[in-house]
Amino acid sequence: MSTRFLAAISLLLVLCACSHKDSANSQVGMAIDSTNGGTISGTVILEGPCPAPQTFLCGDNVGCDRASVTAQHWIVNNGKVANAFIYIKDGLDNKKYTIPTSPALLDQRHCVYKPHVMGLILGQPLEVLNSDSTLHNVHLTSASVGESFNRIFPQGMAPMSSHFETPGIKTIKCDVHGWMNCYIGVVPHPFFAVSDSTGHFEIKGVPPGDYTLELWHESTTGSDNAVVETKKISVKAKETQRADFSITAR
């Protein structure tokens, strides 16, 4: 066996080993550094009037197990806004983070989606359930080309599993019950949060650095008219950086 042949085989083995290692890394990705990472913490505050809640009568939809539904467009308590989606928009470069294999869960219960606003990491599975004794459909309406779906969801059907191909705010509707909608923020990293009923949100384990933070909140007139606010933020290791948002409803 010639020296040149052995050298070629050795080179091939090294290349194979390297490509295997890269492939493994891209699947695993980075974990959140909960020890040295910083925290972004804030409150979402409503400036100005709150849109009046819209109530829909369930009528013949006995499977909803309720008489009426109040739309979840603006949930505001003492001037603090729930259901705002806050995430790091820029500054993480191309860091790849571990994608959870456990699905993010979206339920249909009493003819509303629970949760109304949620986030997941791009590539993470989405599992949709139907806890109602009635028919729904799950209609993804604001998605990239080739990503939309519209699936019938009868009572008792097994959970539906899906995933997203692109980042962005996705809108899901039920065409059977016109008031049913929800939003899923899909981002390529784990640094996102949804404000709670007190308007509070917190994003932990953020690597030290300078970022653009973005807030998204639905409007009463559709996802094309959503409230979007950005702010620059500097995160330091092990410290909490305050990032309050004041938004106006529409």
| Residues that bind Cu ion in the complex, under the rule CB under 5 A | 136, 174, 176-177, 180
CA 199 and chain centroid, separation: 17
Q: Quick one: DSSP state of residue 211?
A: E
Identity of the residue, 63 or 119, whose beta carbon is nearer to Cu ion in the bound complex:
63
The minimum distance between CB 156 and Cu ion, in angstroms, equals 15
Q: Which helix (H) or strand (E) holds 184?
A: strand 181-187
Residue type, 109: R
The minimum distance between CB 219 and Cu ion, in angstroms, equals 22
**31, 2, 76: which is closest to 207 by C-alpha?**
31
Identity of the residue, 69 or 213, whose beta carbon is nearer to Cu ion in the bound complex:
69
Identity of the residue, 53 or 178, whose beta carbon is nearer to Cu ion in the bound complex:
178
The minimum distance between CB 179 and Cu ion, in angstroms, equals 9
Identity of the residue, 11 or 152, whose beta carbon is nearer to Cu ion in the bound complex:
152
Cβ atoms of residues 218 and 71 within 8 Å: no
Cβ atoms of residues 223 and 183 within 8 Å: yes
Whole-number Å distance between alpha carbons of 121 and 167 = 8
The minimum distance between CB 130 and Cu ion, in angstroms, equals 9
Identity of the residue, 92 or 105, whose beta carbon is nearer to Cu ion in the bound complex:
105
Residue length, the chain? 250
Whole-number Å distance between alpha carbons of 16 and 5 = 17
Strand 136-140 and strand 150-153: pairing?
A: antiparallel
The minimum distance between CB 196 and Cu ion, in angstroms, equals 25
